[in-house]
Amino acid sequence: MAGRLAGKVAIITGAGSSGPGWGNGKATAVLFAREGASVFAVDVNGTAAAETCAIIAGEGGIAAAHTTDVSSHDQVRAMVATCLERFGRIDILHNNVGIAVVGGAVDLPEEEWDRVERVNQKSVFLVCKHVLPVMERQGGGAIVNTASIAGIRWTGIDYISYYATKGAVGMMTKGIALAYAAKGIRCNAILPGLMDTPMIRHGLPDAYAGGDIDQMIEKRHRQCPMGRMGDAWDVANAALFLASDDARYITAHELVVDGGLTARCA
């Protein structure tokens, strides 16, 4: 039976993983390929992107790895051109890159603010800037942006740049969705909650448990109403739904994937 993305071409940014295990982009790339998509796997770490593609190829899927800093206009333009040369079209775009740097309004260095803004926010703008004209020429497409519940509420961690940029991704999603709705292009966002992915092991332990990763993991589990964090596959399944024709009448939506966390008062 054909998969839900059969015949589609999907660009996934952040398709590698920042460490051992399954990051959101890596899981989404593999799941999209399992559902029939040809995947253009983009990451600033070319080795990580190649590892994801090797998994897809090992399962009989189609994928190509591409190394790109998606905060660079020239590199993004070249990335989109390369995808078109390889696959001929772009049906799905999943903007998934993101970093978190702990620091508040006073103590966060300006250069760190700028770095987080480039990676988390500017990258979404640049990739959409170059992919939207392609989708418009084709008569449609689906964009899925990874935001965060940190874009809509305080999470207990003082990382002001993360709150600001993820909130911006949510509003960019709505703006793009409404500007392109009549052109057959849908744009939605996923707002993950506390997730157990390799990303949280780089930078967040100090904010939670003085550098103790095991204590950080346990504390994050306890914070979740379901008693456990989600994982990359929870995000990947949400991305699959929003990218597929099952969500053909859904646009400008922020899909919260948090095990009920944002519904709780305390």
List Cα–Cα distances, 15 to 36, 55, 85, 97, 215, in angstroms.
17, 12, 19, 8, 28
Catalytic residue among 162, 163, 180, 208: 162
Contacts by residues 150-153 (CB-CB < 8 Å, ≥ 24 positions apart): 151/191, 152/191, 152/254, 152/262, 153/262
- Cβ-based neighbours of 229, under 8 Å, separated by 6 or more: 193, 194, 195, 196, 217, 220, 221, 259
Catalytic residue at 208?
A: no
Does residue 10 contact residue 91 with C-beta atoms inside 8 Å?
Answer: yes
Nearest to 95 by CA among 172, 14, 28, 174: 14
145-160 in b/e form (b: 16+ CB < 10 A) is bbbbbbbbeebeeebb
Q: Which residues are catalytic?
A: 162
